[in-house]
Structure 1
């Protein structure tokens, strides 16, 4: 992978990580469309650390308050009922499903799950589920109303994103909408929930950068930097967009892209 490819993939990661259109799918599809080598799962996981740094910066006050309240709640029972302390537990519990399944099916995720046909199908199916959630979700609950049950269910939804094309933000926002959250609340909690999972995944895969024919260390660093810059802008845009607009534009994009991918694979172009 050369520097230009790294920059393009970093921008793609930054644009697609937080939009419900699957960054993992795009990091697989863009190289396929241009005839580049598949950068590999290690590259994908590590580059996500760039967008995760954007989350840490954008939500630094929220994350600090959550971490401080959670730690304090371990020794002070009076703090355990506060929103920040509860969110700390919900984020931990919500990370368990994706951690267990990610380790259990690591080999399948790195090989079979990256097939273009599966990605195309996942784009379409999750897109339709997202539209269903938009239609039937009450969109009246805020983050303050989250319960442990919500945290577990959204965490299970996040685990579905181990399949490229599903989208981590897409699956968690869909679950949030189905549970009655407003679009902005679902997106905000989705971003917060992404922190433990993406950080753990990125650090776990760091040792494998450049192995198995994947992208080397220098291109990965370049892509990570661009992913951070573009990702920060993406967060701000999406939160503002969802306050006034439905998710339909993302649904249409997912379905069209999925159909294109399946058509090209069927025609032998990809």
Structure 2
């Protein structure tokens, strides 16, 4: 099925209409913040249903739904970081841990920002080879293996009180993997945080807080790209429906993720990712999905 391109920007979601985009919004919202890759599901679900690929522009813009959900769920952390950082700057107290953590988050965002701009021509192109289902299948399997290794060998003892600049930079570099469909931003950063020895629920908090700037930049950048290609009013309204539905879904996805990590482990996501990747590659090899 052909992609819908508007001046080089993939706008396939417009052709799907309100009802289908609302359904994809639910899928996007649930999978965006779970370590199972929303981009993978945004390719797999339409393919299984015989729908057009909603496109990379849709996936990127939908990150604003994740942004709203993360800020809402972790409002205590976000407001404390912001308030104390501003207070620290006003009093020139640059040793304040909240100020330093906020600064580290900004620095840790630089790697994915540079990589994203460098690869934007490939990542956002219509029919990008990186959005192929084969790439997504292998990415799911590789990330399942890495997450499993983090579960097996990590100590799971550290908290956010123990975060250092090196920790933030390491998780920030791992965030680059999110540019590859199937890897998952939350999956790559959660895996890195677990590998650094953080408790499971603390690793998730670390992952979400560190990802806020990257999520915001990616989402607003895509809105600007859609504005530049003069997306129709109908297209904007369809996108809005997806954003609202995805925001609500994402909030409950965070709640569910935190409950699983607090009471169990990341193994349910390891199994799901591994099975998804294997089934997807087998389906492609058998010609069941294209």
Per the TM superposition, whether the score is higher than 0.5 is yes
Aligned partner (choices 267, 281, 285) of residue 248 of structure 1: 267
Alignment of 1:220-259 (within 5 A): 220-259=239-278
Equivalent pairs, count: 269
Match of 1:193 in 2: 210
Partners in 1 of 2:268 and 2:139 — Cα distance?
17
Aligned partner (choices 135, 145, 148) of residue 118 of structure 1: 135
State the secondary structure of the residue aligned to 1:180.
coil
State the secondary structure of the residue aligned to 2:258.
helix
Whether the 8 Å CA contact 2:38–2:184 is kept in 1: the answer is: yes
1:88 CA displacement: 0.3
Partners in 2 of 1:183 and 1:57 — Cα distance?
20
Alignment of 1:104-183 (within 5 A): 104-110=118-124, 111-183=128-200
Whether the 8 Å CA contact 2:66–2:215 is kept in 1: the answer is: no
State the secondary structure of the residue aligned to 2:51.
coil
1:61 CA displacement: 2.4
Gaps of 5+ in 1: none
Match of 1:208 in 2: 225
State the secondary structure of the residue aligned to 1:216.
helix
The answer on 1:8 being equivalent to 2:42 is no
Distance change in 2, residues 1:222/1:149 (3 Å): same
Aligned partner (choices 115, 127, 131) of residue 101 of structure 1: 115
Whether the 8 Å CA contact 2:168–2:210 is kept in 1: the answer is: no
| C-alpha distance after superposition, 1:79-99 (max 9, x if no partner) | x33332122012101111111
Whether the 8 Å CA contact 1:11–1:226 is kept in 2: the answer is: yes
1:76 CA displacement: 3.1
1:260 CA displacement: 1.4
Whether the 8 Å CA contact 2:39–2:182 is kept in 1: the answer is: yes
Whether the 8 Å CA contact 2:123–2:179 is kept in 1: the answer is: yes
Gaps of 5+ in 2: 1-15
The answer on 1:265 being equivalent to 2:252 is no
State the secondary structure of the residue aligned to 1:243.
helix
The answer on 1:81 being equivalent to 2:81 is no
Whether the 8 Å CA contact 2:109–2:214 is kept in 1: the answer is: yes
Aligned partner (choices 60, 84, 90) of residue 104 of structure 2: 90
TM-score by length of 2: 0.88
Whether the 8 Å CA contact 1:13–1:51 is kept in 2: the answer is: no
